[in-house]
Structure 1
Amino acid sequence: MSRSTALVTGGSGFIGTWVLRELLQQGMTPVVYDVRPNARRWSQVLGSDAARVIFVEGDLLETERLRQTCQQHDVQHLIHLAALLTPACQQDPWAGCKVNVLGSVALFELIRTAGLPIQGLSYASSYAVYGPEEDDGPQADDAAQDRPPTFYGAFKLAVDLIAEQYWRHFGIASVGVRPHVVYGPERDAGLTAGPSLAAKAAALGERYTIGYTGVVSYDYVEDVARAFVQAALETPRGAHVVDLPGNPATTEDFVREIDAVIPGAAGRLSVDGPLIPSNIPPHPHYFTQLFPDWRVTPLAEGIRKTIDFYRVGRQDPGSTHQP
Structure 2
Amino acid sequence: MNILVTGGAGFIGRWVVKKLLAEGQRITALDDLSNGRLMNIDEFRDNPDFLFIEGDIKDRDTLKQVFAGGFDLVYHLAASINVQDSIDDPRTTYENDVTGTFNVLEECRRQNIKMLFMSTCMVYERSLDETGITEEHPVKPASPYAASKLAGEALTLSYYYAYGLPTVVVRPFNTYGPFQKSSGEGGVVAIFIQRELAGEELNIYGDGTQTRDLLYVEDCADFVVRAGRDSRANGQLLNAGLGRDVSINGLARMIGGDAGRIRHVAHIHPQSEIPKLLCNYDKARELLDWQPRVSLEEGLQRTREWMIVG
Do the structures match in fold with TM over 0.5? yes
Is the partner of 1:236 in helix, strand or coil?
helix
Report how many residues are paired.
284
Letter in 2 for 1:49: F
Note closer, same or farther for the CA distance 1:22–1:238 as it changes in structure 2 (3 Å cut): closer
Match of 1:149 in 2: 142
TM-score with structure 1 setting the length: 0.76
CA contact (8 A) 1:77 1:121 kept: yes
1:167 to 142, 160, 163: 160
Match of 2:298 in 1: 301
CA contact (8 A) 1:194 1:211 kept: no
| Greater RCO, 1 or 2 (C-alpha within 8 Å, sep 6+) | 1
TM-score with structure 2 setting the length: 0.79
Q: Which runs of 5+ in 2 are unaligned?
A: 127-137
Match of 1:128 in 2: 122
Note closer, same or farther for the CA distance 1:162–1:54 as it changes in structure 2 (3 Å cut): same
Identity score, percent: 24
CA contact (8 A) 1:9 1:82 kept: yes
RMSD of the alignment, in Å? 3.0
Offset of 1:270 from its aligned partner?
2.8
Match of 1:183 in 2: 176
Offset of 1:192 from its aligned partner?
6.3
Alignment of 1:6-155 (within 5 A): 6-36=3-33, 38-43=37-42, 48-52=43-47, 53-72=50-69, 74-85=70-81, 86-113=83-110, 115=111, 118=113, 120-131=114-125, 146-155=139-148
Match of 1:272 in 2: 264
Letter in 1 for 2:105: F
CA contact (8 A) 2:213 2:278 kept: no
Is the partner of 1:223 in helix, strand or coil?
helix
CA contact (8 A) 2:176 2:187 kept: yes
Is the partner of 1:161 in helix, strand or coil?
helix
Cα shift readout 1:241-284 (whole Å, capped 9, x = no counterpart): 1111223112343345447xxxxx54785353459524547997
Match of 1:241 in 2: 237
Match of 1:224 in 2: 220
Offset of 1:294 from its aligned partner?
3.4
Alignment of 1:282-301 (within 5 A): 286-301=283-298
Match of 1:321 in 2: none
Is the partner of 1:30 in helix, strand or coil?
strand
Match of 1:197 in 2: 191
Offset of 1:285 from its aligned partner?
6.6
CA contact (8 A) 1:200 1:306 kept: no
